[in-house]
Structure 1
Amino acid sequence: YSTNSSTVLWATFHAKILLLHFSKEYHRKFLDNYSTIYQLNYTLNYHENLGYLQSNTFIRLTYPTIYECYIKDNLNLITISRRIDEYKRLKEINFNYKNQKRLNIEFIYNNKQLLLEQIKISLNELEKYTYLYEYDYLKRLINIKKNQYSIDHYQYDLNNNLNLTKSYQSIQYNQWNQIIQIITNDNLTLNYKYDQNGFLHIISNHKLYLFNSYGLLIKYKHNQLIIDYIYDNEQRLIMKLYSLTGYYLRFIYGNQQQRKLITHIYNSQFKFLTSIYYDNQNNLIGFEQNEKKFFILTDQIGSPLFIYDNNGLLIQEKFYGLYGQILIEKNFQDRIFFPFGYAGLLIDEDLNCAFEKIHGKLYDLNLGRYLVPNFPSTWINKQTYLPNINNPLNNMNLYKINDEIYNINEIYFQRFHQN
């Protein structure tokens, strides 16, 4: 960090009170001190014998069968039903407001290839459309269609690297599977450079990345934009700081049972706190912001597809590409601040990247590539010849994101039969 500034940061979390303390001193003295206190009630209630989540301060959950889950708000106005199939894959979601069906989502799988084939959506029982997924013989996604019209397509090289999409006419790699050059469909050429550790350092001489020894991003520069990233001793992101303006996002991890889950985000620019809630599978289910409640409907890997408010009004609709690129976004009200997206991951819109939940490393949403090498856990045990995933090339490709992030269908099936 610059010697012209110093940072002091700490937070305490109690059952009903969250204290945020932040101070940063600059020679410019435009921000000297800031602190705030919020009264909170963030509780989780579990079944005393079976251990599953029954309620939190936001919703109540019931489980009529092993295949169904009903989620209700505290006023019994909103009901979200989720149904899974015999392989524990998400099969259907319904959203009802005052017993009136507002949304139905159906997930259709190819059980021969164990892949997601279609997502059928019925909005207010009037607007109906279908997303179709097409794969090659290696089970790689090659085309996404909406009502038979292609909205994105993908092509791969012999090392299973993405080398062509609707946005990029060429993606070139070196012998270490590092991206070295991209040519967009606008004929813009982007050149990638790496440091001696294999960490991404510069893109086309105007985007600068600096990482710590864990491979976590600590600074990003792009023209006049400078961002610092601060982590705690568990390598969890706790602050994103815009150095020139002093604005910051503060991330709080209040669930001691799930220490990687973000439960609160404080936005200093707009001076509000967002409380985030999860269901029994740790998928996003809703959030509170400015004393307003919002409900989230996610796909089979936890990506938010629809967001409704507590009056049953549709706020936002999203749909994603192969690795999380937003292909469709519709905002029916003012765009809300909610920095979560594909697979329920924390999204950094300034970088167009996602923070992976387990180790916090960033990957590019358009390319499905980590910005730093991601060494498999099997390498730690020196089992380099026995990779956990089916394709050995994936274990040798240190920059490609793990298949479990974007396609869990076959993995679910395998685990089901192993158990």
Structure 2
Amino acid sequence: MSNKKIDFGIMLNGPGSHMHAWKSDEVPSDASTNFDFQLKIARQAEEAGFSFLFVADGLYINDKSIPHFLNRFEPLTLLAALAPITRYIGLVGTISTSYSEPFTIARQLATIDKLSHGRAGWNVVTSPLEGSADNYSKGEHPEHDVRYDIAEEHINVVQGLWDSYEDDAFPRDVEHNQYVDQDKMHTLNYQGNYFQVKGPLNIDRSEQGQPVIFQAGASPKGQAYAAQYADAVFIIGESIESAVKNYDSIKQQAVEYGRQPDDIKIYPILSPILGETIDIAEARYDEIKSLTTIEEALTYLGRYYDHHDFSQYELDAPFPELGDVGKNSFRATTEAIAQRARDNNLTLRQVALEETTRKSPFFGTYKDVAQTIIDWFEAGAADGFIFGPHIYGDNYEEFINNVLPILEAKGYYDATYQGTTLRENIGVPFKANRYQQQSVEHTK
């Protein structure tokens, strides 16, 4: 076993990741807009030593959307509310580069970073759903690879603005009438194909330098983006083999960009179904599956393909060949679904029901799930995991109370926070100010 420890993040996702988690008697049906409930989840995670919480988001809904996605909090507002009433846990929010202005995002995230004393993170997304364009006055939804070109400029602007002030730019010296050292204030003057931003930003840096950059793109373009810019990456984690492949690919690309492998952390999604015995876990799985009808499962599957209508196909025939359907939406996910269907000769019915309630590799007794986590960590498939239970109820508390203690006893987990900033607690470097860095290098 290495000296490194496994760390965990948690999705703050209303009642849970299952499309009908809101029906469960384990959670309030209004969990997606119930602040007290979400605060309870966050505090439990902080007490258990989770490194960060993560708020997902989307910019387009319709009558076929996941029910609790129709009515949920905007991420940055929620994180700002949580900042003063949490102490250690990181606060990570999803924001689209395709439908936001860099200057505004830089201000909002820097403010949360200051409010939380260096615990903010940004999950950078390019917005896969084409319907997002209908809610913004920007014309047609950009094509997949173009969205990443936009994202590259966007993050360059935001990170450039975050360095507007060197860390000692504000002496606030009353005696000498000097609030700011003008020599340590920098104007960006960014001129790109998609953004033209002058700057400087009107807020300085936090204790961690800059917010932590998270990214979840798994396509080749998305992986290359993550390798260059991200501090942490979420991956799907279909199997230990695919997770190792993605892990190695992202780390190797990061090295090619001049980074160290440990500068970027990889977090597969962890949606365990567990119990004291296998029979209890199986019963739990059947209970969750029963929340969804086949018609609802087809609708859920369709959202990955920009709400494609799967009801037109024969349910018990092989999963249909769809050509380019879905390639401009959740590309990596739709490719993984098609591959899994081919490899396992799955019917459309089987694929749809699996997608609503996936029996992931993290299934079984508390010891089984703990050992699987260890196996993935030791195999080089993960630095940590992003915990996203189907329902925030029994499985969440059982994981904290029964799985984490096993990992801790075996030396793989430590609930003690390593520092006060998010960067310290996930083990990525402080983000030095580019101007101070240049000054130091110039004097060497």
Which of the five TM-score ranges fits, normalised by the shorter chain?
Answer: under 0.3
> Which protein has greater RCO, CA pairs closer than 8 Å, 6+ apart?
2
Higher fraction of strand: 1
TM-score by length of 1: 0.22
TM-score by length of 2: 0.21
